[in-house]
Amino acid sequence: MSAALMPTYARLPVAFRRGRGAWLEDTDGRQYLDALSGIAVCGLGHAHPAVAEAVAGQAHTLIHTSNLYEVPHQSQLGERLCALAGLEQVFFANSGAEANEAAIKLARLYGHQRGIETPEIIVAENAFHGRTLGALTATGNRKAQTGFGPLPDGFRRVPYNDPHAVAAAASERTVALFVEPIQGEGGIVIPDAGYLAALRTICDQHGWLLMLDEVQSGVGRTGRWFAHQHAGIQPDVVTLAKALANGVPIGACMAGGPAAGILGPGSHGTTFGGNPLASRAALAVLDTIDADHLVDRAEVLGDRIVDGFRQALADTPGIREIRGRGLMIGIELGGPCAHLVREAMDAGVLINVTAGSVVRLLPPLILTDDEADRLVHTLTPLIERAARQIAGPSSHQA
């Protein structure tokens, strides 16, 4: 890596020069099956023609104006997203963290409008909401926070997947609950079936906003447009980013019900957010997901991959759990397995390990059945060996 870059990332020693579908080619011409999609960003894979044409066409027409003017593509995108999510309004930003900052500000303003001077938002342990100061505080990871104090006040943390803990943490100052419907960075943690519905009930009882961070889980990945739709509930605020424009930076904070109409003129802003280029790219993404039935496809593919691993790794000691919702898949080992990232890359597959011991797979929604099977077949022996090592020497006789 160049010394001209701040070394905020420990980068793998590979650079890619082009991509096509689920495949990336490195600068030596080697091909890799991309099972990470740039961390759930390139849901349509690389160099998708519909996105490429939308971006190129818009770049030749008009990249940016300003939110001081009407931006028709942004309006169109807002209407599309509201219809898909059952919400009423959208604020467009440029990233997940920024979408979450908008949600945090919205919740605080909601509190102030109700006479609560020091509003508090309930967040979850093991969460990830981004790296800006508000989002970092909501995230709560000690390691990520160390050295960056003082952090803003007004967050209270409870265990994830525990509605009773939420009720117990309530105070006069509480204005909102903010969680991921599935924790992504936290290790693909899928809560119990009744969790989100229980949160919805608690929020209704107290007049709190139910705010969901769908930055990673949204836009079709889990086999629904939004992961909360598996639970059949209606949140008040939903944030999006990653997959929304297949790699063109964009974020969205959507609001409905009591959360609609809170952020008014002058209360929030952005120079780039929802500009014609990003909005046009996002419209192309939504059109393609619709036309190619990729939401349903994500569910089918996810089941195929999870079933494939469950069969291939059945009875392997050192595997704690294989879980997934659509194409948000985690294979949890009994101990640290970060070395698998490099081993998989050497075997021609790009993956991620998160929370220390969870192999995270976020492949593109355009994967073929053959590619899905190849993913399982290539990774199985690597995961099996790592798991057996973790389980200890006795497991080799199994």
Task: Supply the residues annotated as catalytic.
Answer: 128, 213, 242
Burial 110-136 (b: 16+ CB within 10 A, else e): bbeeeebeebbbbbbebbbbbebbbbb
- Closest residue by Cα to residue 235 from 258, 210, 205: 210
CB of 360 to ligand PLP, least distance (A): 11
**CB of 39 or CB of 167, closer to ligand PLP:** 39
Is residue 351 within 8 A of residue 39, CB to CB? The reply is no
Measured CA to CA in angstroms, residue 241 lies from 23, 114, 249 at distances of 22, 29, 8
Contact between residue 215 and residue 249 where contact means Cβ atoms under 8 Å apart: no
C-beta of 8: minimal distance to ligand PLP in Å? 12
95 or 222, CB closer to ligand PLP? Answer: 95
Choose the binding region for ligand PLP from 92-100, 162-170, 285-293, 326-334 (rule: CB under 6 A): 92-100
Give the range of 96-104, 161-169, 267-275, 334-342 binding ligand PLP by CB under 6 A: 96-104
| 101, 120, 213, 332: which one binds ligand PLP (CB under 6 A) | 213
Contact assessment for residue 254 and residue 228, using Cβ atoms and an 8 Å cutoff: no
> Applying CB under 6 A, does 236 fall inside the site for ligand PLP?
no
At its nearest, how many Å lie between ligand PLP and the CB of residue 265?
Answer: 26
What is the amino acid identity at position 180? E
Cβ distance to ligand PLP smaller for residue 104 or 331? 104
Closest C-alpha among 302, 332, 336, 328 to residue 319? 332
Look at residues 188, 243, 199 and name the one whose alpha carbon lies nearest to residue 218. Answer: 243
Question: What mask, x for binding ligand PLP by CB under 6 A, covers residues 181 to 200?
Answer: ---xx---------------
Q: What is the CA radius of gyration of the chain?
A: 21
Q: How far is the CB of 4 from ligand PLP (least distance, A)?
A: 22
Closer CB to ligand PLP, 213 or 371, in the complex: 213
- Taking CB under 6 A as the criterion, which residues in 97-156 touch ligand PLP? 97, 100, 128-130
Count of residues of this chain found to bind ligand PLP when the rule CB under 6 A is applied: 15
Q: Is 256 in the site for ligand PLP (CB under 6 A)?
A: no
Tokens of 31: 């091909």
Q: Which of 216, 229, 288, 389 binds ligand PLP (CB under 6 A)?
A: 216
Q: Looking at residues 274 to 333 of the shown chain, list those that interact with ligand PLP (rule: CB under 6 A).
A: none
CA 221, 227, 230, 236 dihedral sign is negative
Is residue 96 near ligand PLP by the rule CB under 6 A?
Answer: yes
CA dihedral 203, 205, 208, 212 (to 10 degrees): 10
Say how far apart CA 81 and CA 26 lie, in whole Å. 35
> Using CB under 6 A as the criterion, which residues of the chain lie in contact with ligand PLP when the complex forms?
95-97, 100, 128-130, 180, 184-185, 213, 215-216, 241-242
